[in-house]
Structure 1
Amino acid sequence: MDEQIELQSFGLYTPKYDFASSELYKNRLSQIRDTQKALIKNGQAVTGNTNWTVNGSKSQGKKMVKDMQKLLLRAFNSECDELIDKVKYNTFDTALKRMRSSCEAISKLGNIMGIAITTQYFNAKHEELCLSLEYKKKKQDEKEEQKEIRARMREEAKLQKEIEETRKKIAKEQTHYQNALSHLEQQIKTAADVDKEELLKKKEQIINELSEIDKSMKDIDYRAANARAGYVYII
């Protein structure tokens, strides 16, 4: 906790939430804004002296206090909206200080009528500031992640194309040696004993070549099945 406080004293924001997606941040932002609307509607966003009178009229005094509450709350909301819209990790500390200063300034302006932003409403705005910052960060992270996925997909597609081209080349070579072996076996059947030894040597060479080709084909199959293994193949 001391370490986090020390970091915050240098203006380094420590995330307060850990939502898995930007959509969850967006939903939470919607909820906190609904909470703010409810606080305004229920008269819990800003205080005010309801016993204020104007020319001896309580109704006029009440209206005057209500109008001043609206004016000062609108000014506070306008300041907060600007801060929330522009907040970044390196400006969070400054934004929060400005939000507090705005709240204190409004309390001073409305002091005579007992007008002040409630702690409950300020906390809701503070939470919105934090959520907005983390929402922007999560959106950026997701954007970068999608960019990486697209790049990886392009690399995988390129690798698969290279693998298929190599597979065709090996298959063609395999067919060539299989045909040669079949032709050689026919020659061996009809060859004289004096020629058979040389033909059998050629047959052994072809069988060895086919064995190497079979290994290469299995290697290609393995590469195709493990295209995401993190290797760079130079074919």
Structure 2
Amino acid sequence: MLRAFNGECDATIAKVRYNNVGVMEARIRKAWEVINGCAEVQRCTISRGYLDLKLAELSLVHEYEEKVQQEKDEQRRIKEQMREEEQALRELEKVKQEAEKEENRFAEALRKAQDEILRASGAKQEKLQAQVAELERKLSEAQTNKARAVSRAQMTRSGHVYIISNVGSFGEHVYKIGMTRRLDPMDRVKELGDASVPFEFDVHAIIYTEDAPKLENELHRAFHHRRVNRVNERKEFFNVSILEIAEHVRRHHPASIEIVHEAEAMEYRKTLSMSLEAANLAPDPKQALVRPAVRVGA
């Protein structure tokens, strides 16, 4: 009996993972009950104290597996953050290079136009002067864009905090609050709405700030007790109303921010409409059972 119980426990404990301890515990308890039941006539039993020791061993192995999983999640989070920052830096570098090309192009065109003015006269000179003024404006704009791109690259904490929802996937009053350093934050939103969820995300607010991690952390702390997943804090979904989010955003980010209160959820609502239409057109199953008699032959 003891050999059988130990073997069952060893096999069960070897299979425990961070997410299946309940099933494994039930298996050990069942084995204890079955083996004791087989020797009930002989009045021979494995004590409950020994069962508790095996369950304690299971609990320790499960705790270790949880720690291993937490480490994996943390490493995954760090790698994801690094990928996000690398992508943002690539985008900023691309914008910077494009701005430099524009700057060089307009500077060269301006130089040529200024040389032509010296050789021109009358109406042609006036036309060239208007052209020079326009080129100077475009050159100044290109230089501003370049300076802005350089500044964004140097400001490692600047970025966008986004507030999005997915009614069709997660239900009403569930919002994801995250941040991205991408130049176009919608690129990140589109990534989140890929094949892993059945419907696209709706954007309620995208807030640019020079300290995006700080604003994101403020909102996460404010709604910590409303997290959908209380175990894995990498899942940034919160069961809260958009009015509460708007209130906290304005408290920590006093600049004027437009927040969309109603989710359009176009794909989800259109799918519901199509499903209802299909249900109304479907034949009554009770009527389908009553079939008219068919006469075969003459």
For the aligned pair, the TM-score class normalised by the smaller chain equals 0.3 to 0.5
Which structure has the larger Rg?
A: 1
More helix by share: 1
Which structure has more strand as a fraction of its residues?
Answer: 2
TM-score (norm 2): 0.40
Higher relative contact order (CA 8 A, sep 6+): 1
